[in-house]
């Protein structure tokens, strides 16, 4: 499945999400379940070949399992499932399906919730992103990936949300395959190593104001987007997250489509919004909140 067909699935699901958001009619709502249903549907369309209605009990069951960190069960398929010598077997199928659904739903949905909080706390940032969307995309069509290169400020904001929110502060374990000297220490072969990505994202040598949300971290003197070697929400190296291209597409299309159509309003004063995570462990979860999305 090529990037183009995946983008089409994201655009399709994004349009369903916008319809659901319009039905809130500007009233307060909790975005957790709405975002989970939409984002998980993209993964479902990739895995199963079709999307689910938002009220479909199968989709709701999947989301509840994901949110509760349970392993997902799925119907078997494929002719190799009973072959003990095959790399394709039921255990592999179930674990792969679980990893795709869990990783592809929780991380993107959580990042979007962080983005909502941040944009409501900094309404001038939200307004500038909307101005760039109006200038580049307009209101007559949905944003696409081709627009990203012409939207440096929006791209910088999304990158800064990922850096600042630091949704996955700890990398997944990697195993040392040979005795490895490192800064005066010897790491024996077979040692599991977990790197702390947040030490890079909050490094003052890499980012001017690491404790603050600042899109300028990803903009040069000409206000063009600039990459940072210290940006690694998807890890780094040969074993980085396989879902990075999909997640980047989802974050850009979803956030720009929402801000193209709505303005995010908090139920408290912007200065009273707390951006510190509810909990920090494997992931940094935003504090529960409600918001209003008012049609522009």
Structural domains of the chain in order of their starting residue, each with its CATH number: 3-295 (1.10.630.10)
* The pLDDT of residue 130 is above 70: yes
Cα–Cα dist 32/35, whole Å: 6
Cα–Cα dist 23/49, whole Å: 27
Within 10 angstroms of residue 282's Cβ, the number of other Cβ atoms is 12
Alpha-carbon distances of 215 from 31, 84, 150, 169, rounded to whole Å: 24, 52, 16, 20
- pLDDT tens digits, residue range 176-207? 999 999 999 999 999 998 888 889 999 999 99
- pLDDT tens digits, residue range 242-279? 778 889 999 999 999 999 999 999 999 999 999 998 87
Residue 8 CA, distance from chain mean position: 18
* The pLDDT of residue 117 is above 90: yes
Cα–Cα dist 120/135, whole Å: 21
- pLDDT tens digits, residue range 134-182? 999 999 999 999 999 999 999 999 999 999 999 988 887 889 999 999 9
Consult the annotation and say whether 292 binds a ligand.
Answer: no
State pTM to two decimals: 0.85
pLDDT in the model for residue 285: 87
First to last CA, the chain: 35
pLDDT in the model for residue 239: 74
Q: Bridge partners of 186?
A: 181
């Amino acid at each position: 499945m090529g990037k183009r067909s995946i983008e089409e699935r994201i655009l399709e699901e994004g349009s369903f999400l916008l319809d659901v958001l319009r039905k809130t009619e500007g009233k307060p709502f909790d975005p957790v379940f709405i975002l989970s249903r939409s984002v998980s549907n993209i993964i479902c369309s990739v895995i199963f070949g079709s999307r689910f209605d938002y009220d479909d009990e199968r989709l709701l069951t999947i989301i509840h399992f994901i949110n509760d960190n349970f392993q997902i069960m799925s119907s078997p398929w494929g002719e190799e499932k009973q072959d003990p010598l095959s790399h394709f077997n039921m255990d592999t199928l179930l674990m792969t399906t679980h990893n795709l659904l869990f990783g592809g739903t929780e991380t993107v949905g959580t990042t979007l919730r962080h983005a909502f909080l941040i944009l409501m706390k900094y309404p001038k940032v939200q307004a500038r992103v909307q101005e760039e969307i109006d200038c580049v995309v307009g209101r007559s069509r949905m944003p696409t990936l081709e627009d990203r290169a012409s939207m440096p400020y929006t791209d910088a904001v999304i990158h800064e949300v990922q850096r600042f929110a630091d949704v996955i502060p700890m990398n997944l374990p990697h195993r040392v395959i040979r005795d490895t000297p490192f800064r005066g220490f010897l790491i024996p072969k077979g040692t599991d190593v977990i790197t702390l990505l947040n030490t890079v994202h909050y490094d003052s040598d890499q980012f001017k104001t690491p404790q603050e949300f600042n899109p300028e971290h990803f903009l040069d003197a000409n206000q063009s987007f600039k990459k940072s070697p210290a940006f690694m929400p998807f890890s780094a190296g040969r074993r980085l997250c396989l879902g990075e291209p999909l997640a980047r597409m989802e974050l850009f299309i979803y956030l720009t489509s929402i801000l193209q159509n709505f303005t995010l309003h908090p139920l408290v004063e912007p200065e009273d919004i707390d951006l510190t995570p509810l909990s920090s462990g494997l992931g940094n979860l935003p504090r529960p909140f409600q918001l209003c999305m008012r049609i522009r």
